[in-house]
Amino acid sequence: MQKKYDWIPQCYYRVSAKALIRNQEWKIALCKENTGYWDIPGGWVDHWEDIKDALKREVMEEMWLVVTSISENPIYTFLAESSGIASPKRPICFILYEVEVENFDYTLSFECAELWFFSVEEALEIQLYYPNEKIMREIKKQEA
């Protein structure tokens, strides 16, 4: 007999809010994690947390940067499976916002051992987590 909520694990996604942060040369900020992979700043949205509040919190936790502006709407949203490198494989809903920060004086953390700016083409040649490759390819299409 099927239970009332048996369907929940079938449609469960973790939500990851991501920050597209660009510098004056229009290059994109990426964080190098201790795994050696580069990642777009951002992370998990906690239960009942506003997504923009989560984005501000994640940028602060990862790099100690203060978010000054977040686009009204996401610029890109997609579903994917996580890479399984830093955490177990799981389905994720990625939501990417354009974000501005007060300055680029970051502080090292476990999730951001290094901060660097890359063009989309440069980013596609480094060791990115799989979902970030998908985002970079989409940005490349939009900018063409």
Q: What is the pLDDT of residues 44-71, one digit of tens each?
A: 999 899 999 999 999 999 999 999 999 9
Q: Tokens for 62? A: 């990862």
CATH architecture classification, 22-143: Alpha-Beta Complex (3.90)
Say which residue the tokens 């399984």 belong to.
84
Q: How many C-beta atoms surround the C-beta of residue 4 within 10 A?
A: 6
Chain segment 20-37, per-residue pLDDT in tens: 999 999 999 999 988 899
pTM attached to this predicted model: 0.87
Percent of the chain at pLDDT exceeding 70 = 92
User: Domain locations in the chain?
Assistant: 22-143
Tell me what the mean pLDDT of segment 98-103 comes to.
97
Model pLDDT, residue 11: 65
Alpha helix ranges (H) inside the chain: 51-63, 120-123, 130-143
Paired with 67 in beta bridges are 101
Q: 68's torsion region: left (phi>0), alpha (psi -120 to 50) or beta?
A: alpha
